[in-house]
Amino acid sequence: MEKEVYELLIIGAGPAGLSAGIYGARAGMRTVIIEKGIPGGTITTTHLVENYPGFPDGISGSQLGDLMKKHCQRFGVEIITGNVKGIKKEKVFEIQMDNGSMLSNTVIIATGSSPRRLNVPGEDRLLGRGVSYCATCDGPLFKNQDVAIIGCGNSGLQEGRFLLKFVRSITFIEFLPYVTADKILYDSIANEKNVKFLLNHEVLEINGGMRVESIKVKNRMTDEVQIINVAGVFIYVGLIPNSDFVRELLKTDDAGFIITDEDYETSIPGIFAAGDVRAKKIRQVVVACSEGAQAAINAYHFLNH
């Protein structure tokens, strides 16, 4: 029995993938999405999203992700669970998975990215025992305790605002000599009495026995080293693209982000990329949605030119 050939197969059900699904299905393409985790992607771990149009009071990341999934399914898009291991190009694209393979005429890669690690002593050993990459997931565990947030970008400050509901104090540690987050985010938290910023500082170690007890940091200007007693360490120091399964197939930049043209097409015709896995400057939910929509439209034109 011959396998069904989809017109559009999307890898990843984050905002980019779900938006691509909506536009692909509305264009009349037989569309399927493969997701190895939770539909909605990493946005589902964000406490409050305040910069997505249409929600003036903000919306929780989990709720926004669920609404996107339901919107996608409304147009008949299949969302299946699976882990994609690779892609082969023959007459059509064969998407290889842990438990078999699927066929499609076009592919959109929307696998997003994962939190970058500090790679310092204690980080791996104490993961889940005070070291976390998700304040929304783990924040309530640190009620009335002192914590550190590593990284002063938008993610770090957004999650810091959420943590203030629970913790006694937050010490922000930033490698650069300035805060990289939007000014509105910085202004919303900088004057809190239980918040401190250590800019131009580097984390050297995360210490503790069974759980995190302290961090060792160095002032990059003076080389002064200090120990800060904390019960939790939340790390937001950038992203790593989830592109390992296509790095030998597609052209990427040095960091592994997939390079596309202005139509979101990759180095192989018929394979497109959208969202945080793509090489670009701006990574925001609204941008990912736009890219997913455009990638799906261009996939449709690819099939019908």
Domain termination site, one of 217, 235, 253: 235
How many domains in the chain? 2
Residues 231 and 279 reside in one and the same domain: no
Residues 149, 226 within the same domain: yes
Contact between 300 and 27 (Cβ < 8 Å): yes
Annotation marks residue 134 as catalytic: yes
Identify the domain boundary among 235, 253, 278.
235
Write down the pLDDT at residue 65: 94
Catalytic residue among 72, 138, 152, 289: 138
Check whether residue 243 and residue 217 sit in a common domain: no
Across the 305 residues of the chain, what is the mean pLDDT of every consecutive 10-residue run?
Answer: 87 97 97 94 81 91 94 96 94 93 97 94 94 87 96 93 95 97 94 96 97 97 97 94 95 96 97 96 91 98 93
User: Which residues constitute the domain of residue 121?
Assistant: 117-235
Same-domain status, 88 and 160 = no
* CATH value at residue 173: 3.50.50.60
Same domain, 107 and 51: yes
Q: Verify whether residue 152 is a known catalytic residue.
A: no
Query: Whole-angstrom distance between the N-terminal and C-terminal Cα of the chain?
Result: 30
**Could you say which of 66, 134, 146, 182 is catalytic?**
134
Same domain, 222 and 244: no
Is-catalytic flag, 289? Answer: no
User: Is residue 212 located within the same domain as residue 245?
Assistant: no
- Residue 180 shares a structural domain with residue 91: no
Q: With the CA atoms of 293, 296, 298 and 299 taken in that order, what torsion angle do they form, in degrees rounded to the nearest 10?
A: 170
- Do 223 and 282 fall within a single domain? no
Residue 287: predicted pLDDT: 94
Q: Taking the model in full, what pTM does it have?
A: 0.82
How do 113-115 and 239-241 pair as beta strands? Answer: antiparallel
Q: What is the C-alpha to C-alpha distance for residues 117 and 114, in angstroms, rounded to an integer?
A: 9
Residues 58 and 206 in one domain: no
What's the pLDDT score for residue 3?
82
Q: How high is the pLDDT of residue 150?
A: 98
Do residues 217 and 204 make contact, with C-beta atoms less than 8 angstroms apart? yes
Torsion angle of the four alpha carbons 292, 298, 303, 305, in this order, in degrees rounded to the nearest 10: 170
Domain boundary among 220, 235, 250: 235
Q: 3-class DSSP state for residue 287?
A: helix
Q: Clarify whether residues 172 and 207 are in a common domain.
A: yes
Same domain, 129 and 32: no
CA separation for the pair 123, 136 (Å, rounded): 19
**Residue for token pair 């401190």:** 196
Write out pLDDT tens, residues 180-221: 999 999 999 999 999 999 999 999 999 999 999 999 999 999
